[in-house]
Chain A
Amino acid sequence: MLLVTRVILKDVTKRFGKVIAVDRVSLQVNHSELFTLLGPSGCGKTTTLRVIAGFELPDEGKVFFDDEDVTFKKPYERGCAMVFQNYALWPHMSVFDNVAYGLKLRGLPSNEVKRRVMEVLRLVGLEGLENRYPLQLSGGQQQRVALARALVVEPKVLLLDEPLSNLDAKLRLRMREEVKKLQKDLKITTIYVTHDQEEAMSLSDRIAVMNGGKVLQIGPPMEVYMHPKNLFVATFIGRSTLLRGIIKKVEGDKAVVSVSRDLELVGRFSQDIKLKEGEEAVAIMRPEDFFLDGTNSSNVIEGFVELTMFLGPFTQLRVKVGSQTIKAYVDPDVGVKSGTKIRLYIRPENVIIFPLTGWEEVEFEAIA
């Protein structure tokens, strides 16, 4: 039986010189939840994790494990186990000694140490490799040793710092499933750091999207995907494409955006955002939400296909719409050719409208 713990961060701020790495972050990770800190590199997610692990002291704010204030606790007093991005396996110790290290520290008798090490190695699928040394293992095996070493001590909290980023694409997908299954079986409170939004969505119970040291939105993957609170979240999560325009009409949480003289899009405001008529706006769409042609007369975008790329399940089109370009995924069977004219329909509920402010920040990622 593992002890499961809530982790609470209250207004945590961490500066490195003049750079604010973590900016007043408050969040709560619940019992046996898999909670992900997601964001681009430099967004403060790893620093936040290191504050939780006790490697960094926040300049302001507090960290709690359940009701206990652990802000000033040393790393070795916290009882959380971390899997490092580079695994941090000790090269001078065998797999067995690496995994047994934490148990030996806890003064367990040697037969108990052996039993538990073997048990956890079986759990991660490494039985028979206990006498190997880390350098004799493949990347995936090293990753499992790191995971086993963290799990074997039955930590109150499991911290995973981009654990899959050093694996090749295929192995990454397999390990992703295994991590999720292990976490569900062991019901261990887990904080997972990644920059890969797909990984975050597939694994997490809840996601905190971070940028510039701030937490922008916390919620279950579906909610963050469907109802992004701001432009950054909308463009960072999932693939997106966008068109700029001016608000023409507002009806409740719906609005019409005038993109050009002959293109108007009906969409919805995201959450508590409200814009007035005449204000500049950005309409965010998912490339997979477009339909070819359609019988509808409204929400149809006409444009020239500039480029087609076959990506397997679909073909990606780059479509020139007036002076702007959008990205759309279509069924490859249709056989759209570049240079041709095209009509794309999108449902109003799939067009999310944001104010233009902050556009420059996300422009690059949105178009990429």
Chain B
Amino acid sequence: MELRSAFRNFSFRAIRFYLDATMIVQILFPTLMFLLFLILPLASVLYIATQYSPLEVISDPMYVSFIPHGELVEIRSNLIFRGKEITLIKLRGVSFGAILNSLICASIVTICASTIGVLIAFIMARYDFPGKTFFRVLATVPLLMTPFINAFVIKKLFDWRDGLISWFICDVLGIPLRIGVSEIAGVVVAQTMTFFPIVYLNVFSSMVNIDPSLEEQAENLGAKGFHLFRTITLPLSLPGLAAGAAIVFIFSLEDVAAPIVFNEKRFMSYQILSKFIEATTGRLSPVAATLAVILLALALTAFAGIKRYVTLRQYAMLSRGGRWSIRVRRPGIKGLIAIYISLLPLFLLAFPQFGVFIYAFCEKWTGPLPEGFTIDHVAKIVIDPLVSRAIVNSLTYSLSALILIVLMGISASYVIARAKLAGVELLDLLVTSPIALPGLVIAVGYFYFFTTMFKGTLLDPIASGPSFLLILAYSVRRLPFTARAVFAGLQQIHIALEEASLNLGASRLRTIRSIVIPLIGINIVSGALISFVYCMSEVSTSITLGGLGGLGELHQAPITLIMMDYLSRVEGPYVVASLGVLLMSIQLAVITLTNVILKQRYAYIGV
């Protein structure tokens, strides 16, 4: 009892001394924002989910089925196609119901993406060879985010009738064989191709940060080749691999683009989305809540599983560039051949982004090869009022969110970095948690919470449209990028610089304004730019909440919703590709700005 009261007294003394009005606001502002726009919505998902028995969902063979449906590989020989006798190999995939499908596919995608990512990262981090710069650029191309349309290009690539691959094998090489990938297998291939760079970048940054002497010591003791890689290099890059793999797993679980493009409804994400399409009436099926809770549980399990390797803050941003010169070797002829063969798939992996460009600028691309050149499609994103309005919407939402992000990011990171109080770690956990939270779960939570608790207000997406909710969803989901950048900046400036100011009589606010912000300005700007990019290309809440206002003349939908909608329209994919080009241009501009002008290097983690 006595100990307890002594502790409380201590806490009260400490709070009274270490906190001032500015810091109290800095704690309360992000905390209340996250309470209202993250915790309570998530709590309402849990609440709704508990109102219905999850068994109803789990026992439905549509969601969980232990009897496999469909065949993994379909082989048909002696098939007559366009007057030629061919053999057709079609990868299709087996279904175990939406929940198990999501889980199985996410696991396969994670393993495939990790294997490719580690291989490329290892070659790039440890070898020097002619054409390396070219391959490095090629390996970063898949990082450019083009929601929906890159999956669309991948589908086209693997189409057995008019796909480039089958065309090349059958029509160019003359082998009577056509290969197709579709349905669940298509989703796996598309997600692997989209998400592998996340592993690549995280592992690469881990590898270049390994102290070279650790490997040299092992070599000195006789380790070499694969043994050295297996016993030293790979274990030391585990934090990067663990972080990358966990993010790929979660992104795969909540990815809607690939299932939509491959018209594959047997995924949890697609099911949640389809419930939203019915929700314009104001009611969201409780199945969405059950699925969201399962999705959330799987995502959190993934993060809990790798907790021993990395702390949450490392997911948001791994700063790159070692303090030492990186160990690179020049391989011999045999090694060179092995390297080039290993890197050859990069042409395929980077193809979707080039494909999006081609798609946007060709007259038509219905057969295996694109035809003609035109800027009509690109012009449409300005001329078509629905599309141009969506661009304006996205810009408005993203820039508004950015104001909140910068304010919250500076506030929260400052407190986390500087307050000498127990419990600031909780604030840290709170503001970085959105990295691990699937956007679809947040969307479901927003729907339940704001259509009931804020019925009829500006925050009610049914009554007022989704504008305000999207701004808030963006600012919560994309805060970690800015928060981590600001935190990294604060760690670089010596605390004595602030103490000197306080000591001379400047208040906390004045110190932050005239000392802290000028010194970490670059970090704030580059963090905000990254947040901006991710706001503009945000998918999960945009295509769910974003559709609640309809697609009328004065619609409130963002770019990504239009991209999803136009995908199924006549001539629509060309417009989607043009929007993809627009998003890629913004990303290239931001990457150039942060890396070249601001000299900040952050690993991008993906969508």
Binding site for B on A (CB under 8 A): 53-55, 57, 59, 72, 74-76, 78-82, 84-86, 88-92, 101-102, 105-106, 149-150, 153
Contacts of B502 in A (CB 8 A): 54-55, 74-76
CB-contact partner of A84 in B496, B508, B518, B519, under 8 A: B496
Contacts of B515 in A (CB 8 A): 90
Are A74 and B503 CB-contacts (below 8 A) given A88-B494, A105-B510?
no
Nearest residue (CB) in B for A106 is: B505
CB pair B507–A76 under 8 Å, yes or no, is yes
Most chain-B Cβ atoms within 10 A of its Cβ — which of A72, A92, A150? A92
CB pair A86–B496 under 8 Å, yes or no, is yes
CA distance A84 to B503 in the complex (A): 11
The 4 A-B residue pairs with the shortest CB-CB distance, nearest first, are: A102-B504, A88-B496, A57-B17, A88-B500
Contacts of A105 in B (CB 8 A): 504-506, 510
CA distance A322 to B87 in the complex (A): 100
Contacts of A75 in B (CB 8 A): 499, 502-503
CB-contact partner of A86 in B18, B494, B504, under 8 A: B494
CA distance A82 to B514 in the complex (A): 19
Kindly specify which of B8-16, B70-78, B193-201 makes contact with the partner chain: B8-16
In the assembled complex, the CB of B345 is this many whole angstroms from the nearest CB of chain A, namely 47
Contacts of A57 in B (CB 8 A): 13-14, 17-18
Chain A proximity mask over B467-511: 1 for CB below 8 Å, otherwise 0 = 000000000000000000000000000101101111111111010
Contacts of A92 in B (CB 8 A): 518-519
In the assembled complex, the CB of B397 is this many whole angstroms from the nearest CB of chain A, namely 33
Contacts of A76 in B (CB 8 A): 502-508
CB-contact partner of A88 in B16, B497, B510, B514, under 8 A: B497
| Cβ of B371 under 8 Å from chain A | no
In the assembled complex, the CB of B264 is this many whole angstroms from the nearest CB of chain A, namely 55
In the assembled complex, the CB of B599 is this many whole angstroms from the nearest CB of chain A, namely 16
In B307-331, which residues have CB < 8 Å from any A CB? none
7 further interface pairs, Cβ-Cβ under 8 Å (given A75-B503, A76-B503, A105-B506): A59-B10, A74-B20, A74-B502, A75-B499, A88-B494, A90-B519, A150-B504
In the assembled complex, the CB of A98 is this many whole angstroms from the nearest CB of chain B, namely 9
In B34-59, which residues have CB < 8 Å from any A CB? none
In B507-558, which residues have CB < 8 Å from any A CB? 507-508, 510, 514-515, 518-519
Contacts of B20 in A (CB 8 A): 74
CB-contact partner of B505 in A55, A79, A86, A90, under 8 A: A79
Contacts of A74 in B (CB 8 A): 17, 20, 502
Interface of B is mostly: helix
CB pair A82–B13 under 8 Å, yes or no, is no
CB pair A90–B497 under 8 Å, yes or no, is yes
CB pair B504–A101 under 8 Å, yes or no, is yes
Nearest residue (CB) in B for A77 is: B505
In the assembled complex, the CB of B497 is this many whole angstroms from the nearest CB of chain A, namely 5
Contacts of B505 in A (CB 8 A): 76, 79, 102, 105-106, 153
Contacts of B13 in A (CB 8 A): 57, 72
Contacts of B501 in A (CB 8 A): 90, 101
Nearest residue (CB) in B for A91 is: B519
CB pair A82–B507 under 8 Å, yes or no, is no
Contacts of A86 in B (CB 8 A): 494, 496
Nearest residue (CB) in A for B18 is: A57
CA distance A77 to B185 in the complex (A): 67
Binding site for A on B (CB under 8 A): 10, 13-14, 16-18, 20, 494, 496-497, 499-508, 510, 514-515, 518-519
Most chain-B Cβ atoms within 10 A of its Cβ — which of A85, A89, A102? A102
In the assembled complex, the CB of B9 is this many whole angstroms from the nearest CB of chain A, namely 10
Nearest residue (CB) in B for A56 is: B420
Nearest residue (CB) in A for B497 is: A88
What are some 5 contacts across the A-B interface (CB < 8 A)?
A75-B502, A84-B499, A90-B515, A102-B504, A153-B505
CA distance A91 to B494 in the complex (A): 11
Nearest residue (CB) in B for A15 is: B10
In the assembled complex, the CB of B17 is this many whole angstroms from the nearest CB of chain A, namely 4
Are A80 and B16 CB-contacts (below 8 A) given A86-B496, A92-B518?
no
Are A80 and B503 CB-contacts (below 8 A) given A90-B515, A91-B519, A105-B510?
yes
Nearest residue (CB) in B for A98 is: B500
Contacts of A55 in B (CB 8 A): 499, 502
In the assembled complex, the CB of A21 is this many whole angstroms from the nearest CB of chain B, namely 13
CA distance A149 to B500 in the complex (A): 9
Nearest residue (CB) in B for A82 is: B503
CA distance A149 to B505 in the complex (A): 12
Nearest residue (CB) in A for B504 is: A102
Contacts of B514 in A (CB 8 A): 101
In the assembled complex, the CB of B257 is this many whole angstroms from the nearest CB of chain A, namely 44
Contacts of B497 in A (CB 8 A): 88, 90
Contacts of A89 in B (CB 8 A): 500
CA distance A106 to B13 in the complex (A): 29
CA distance A150 to B496 in the complex (A): 14
Contacts of B17 in A (CB 8 A): 57, 72, 74
Nearest residue (CB) in A for B503 is: A82
Contacts of A81 in B (CB 8 A): 503-504
Nearest residue (CB) in B for A159 is: B503
Contacts of A59 in B (CB 8 A): 10
In the assembled complex, the CB of A35 is this many whole angstroms from the nearest CB of chain B, namely 18
In the assembled complex, the CB of A113 is this many whole angstroms from the nearest CB of chain B, namely 13
CA distance A106 to B506 in the complex (A): 9
CB pair A101–B496 under 8 Å, yes or no, is no
Most chain-B Cβ atoms within 10 A of its Cβ — which of A82, A85, A149? A82
CA distance A121 to B309 in the complex (A): 53
CB pair A53–B506 under 8 Å, yes or no, is no
Nearest residue (CB) in B for A102 is: B504
CB pair A84–B504 under 8 Å, yes or no, is no
In the assembled complex, the CB of A46 is this many whole angstroms from the nearest CB of chain B, namely 11
CB pair B500–A82 under 8 Å, yes or no, is yes
Most chain-A Cβ atoms within 10 A of its Cβ — which of B20, B500, B503, B514? B503
CA distance A79 to B503 in the complex (A): 7
Are A72 and B16 CB-contacts (below 8 A) given A88-B494, A90-B497?
yes
Nearest residue (CB) in B for A84 is: B496
Contacts of A90 in B (CB 8 A): 497, 500-501, 515, 519
Contacts of B18 in A (CB 8 A): 57
Are A101 and B506 CB-contacts (below 8 A) given A57-B18, A88-B499, A92-B518?
yes
In the assembled complex, the CB of A53 is this many whole angstroms from the nearest CB of chain B, namely 6
Contacts of B503 in A (CB 8 A): 53-54, 75-76, 78, 80-82
Are A153 and B504 CB-contacts (below 8 A) given A55-B499, A74-B20?
yes
CA distance A88 to B515 in the complex (A): 11
CA distance A91 to B519 in the complex (A): 8
Nearest residue (CB) in A for B14 is: A57
Nearest residue (CB) in A for B493 is: A91
CA distance A54 to B515 in the complex (A): 19
CA distance A89 to B518 in the complex (A): 14
Contacts of A88 in B (CB 8 A): 494, 496-497, 499-500
In the assembled complex, the CB of B19 is this many whole angstroms from the nearest CB of chain A, namely 10
Most chain-B Cβ atoms within 10 A of its Cβ — which of A57, A76, A105? A76
Are A82 and B519 CB-contacts (below 8 A) given A105-B505, A106-B505, A153-B504?
no
Contacts of B499 in A (CB 8 A): 53, 55, 75, 82, 84, 88
CA distance A357 to B501 in the complex (A): 46
CA distance A102 to B20 in the complex (A): 20
CA distance A89 to B20 in the complex (A): 24
CA distance A59 to B518 in the complex (A): 34
Most chain-B Cβ atoms within 10 A of its Cβ — which of A57, A72, A91, A150? A57
CA distance A84 to B18 in the complex (A): 20
Contacts of A80 in B (CB 8 A): 503
CA distance A72 to B17 in the complex (A): 6
